Amino acid sequence: MSHAIADHAEDAALVGITAAGLILFIAPLLLGSRFPQAVVLFSALVAVSALVVLAVAIQTHRLSTRLLTILAALVAVDAVMRLVIVIGLLGFSPIFFLIIAGGFAMGPSFGFASGALTLLLSAVLTAGLGPWLPYQMLAAGWVGMGAGYVGRLTGHSTSRLSMVGLAIYGAAAGLGYGLLLDLWEWPLVLNPQGSALSWTAGIGIAELSRRFAGFYLRTSLLYDAFRAAGNFILLVTLGAPVALALNRFRRRFLVRWSVAEPALGVTPVNISTDVGTPA
């Protein structure tokens, strides 16, 4: 029962943050360049959201305060990796490997926080602050969160089958990450009168979808495919040992020790029948 309550509390926090985050991605499709880009405010809200889901996970014993040191280490390593390879190789970036592996082993809250905070820290280190930052943080957080649910479904197993499944998820997440960012950026980058693939205010859903599909296929699909392939290869080759190590940390740091109270009772005494009764 306690595990079910913990799962529901964690899920409720993540659903609320996801619903609010989707508004950030959908609003530009409705408003175009009129949508306000309050970078600092949005980034702060996403960062606070990451801390909120961590707090919920700790309170429901899905995480421990000691596991936060693991989160800090992963975020720091990942941010430094992005500092070395800012753009990546034709769309591939190694930062998603640790986000996905960490979420898989530690859970959805850990995965969301890892993705969001990694992008925030790397943006600070690379001077990559801009209107794209909160969207990158949300999308990367969702990548880690999804990996957490994959881990929950597989029981955090590091079997070959589970790792292949995680690698397939990593490939899909690589495509989804790029698609989400294009969904936000598309209404802002092209002149509405300059191309048949441009965003235009007031067009129907069908035409909007057709234009976006054409834009994505021509400008981003190949780039995102390299990210998807890189995620798949890294997770197939290195996912099992990394997830196994993180699983050990999770089990060790979530152990709750208790001291059993000795049972107090009366021990029966058997008196032999050949013991005489004094006169």
What is the predicted pLDDT for the residue at 166? 96
Token reading at 6: 């913990």
pTM higher than 0.75, yes or no?
Answer: yes
Residue 49 above 90 pLDDT? Answer: no
39 vs 154, which has greater pLDDT?
Answer: 154
The token pair at 169 is 């998820």
Structure tokens at 116: 């969001």
Instruction: For residues 99 and 102, give the distance between their C-alpha atoms in angstroms, rounded to a whole number.
Output: 5
Q: Has residue 86 got a pLDDT over 60?
A: no
Sign of CA dihedral 107, 113, 116, 117: negative
- The Cα 47–Cα 234 span in angstroms is 27
Compute the average pLDDT of residues 139-152.
94
- When pLDDT is cut at 50, 70 and 90, the band that residue 277 belongs to is very low
pLDDT at 271 (0 to 100): 47
Is the separation of the CB atoms in 224 and 179 below 8 Å? Answer: yes
Confidence of residue 123 (pLDDT cuts 50, 70, 90): confident
Q: Are 56 and 9 in contact (CB under 8 A)?
A: yes
Residue 84, Cβ density class (10 Å: 0-12 exposed, 13-18 middle, ≥19 buried): exposed
> What is the C-alpha to C-alpha distance for residues 26 and 20, in angstroms, rounded to an integer?
10
Residues with Cβ within 8 Å of 37's Cβ and at least 6 positions away in sequence, in order, are 131
Residue for token digits 């820290």? 121
Q: Is the pLDDT of residue 210 over 70?
A: yes
- Which contacts of 248-251 are long-range, i.e. CB under 8 A and separated by 24 or more positions? 249/67, 249/70, 249/105, 250/67, 250/105, 250/106, 250/156
Two tokens, residue 33: 């360049």
DSSP class of 34: G
Look at residue 167 in the predicted model and tell me its pLDDT.
Answer: 96
Question: Which class for 128: exposed (0-12), middle (13-18), buried (19 or more C-beta within 10 A)?
Answer: middle
The closest of 236, 63, 90 to 162, measured between CA atoms, is 236
What is the structure's pLDDT at 274?
46
Mean per-residue pLDDT over the chain, rounded: 79
Euclidean distance between CA atoms 22 and 264, whole angstroms? 59
Mean pLDDT calculated for residue range 212-223 = 88
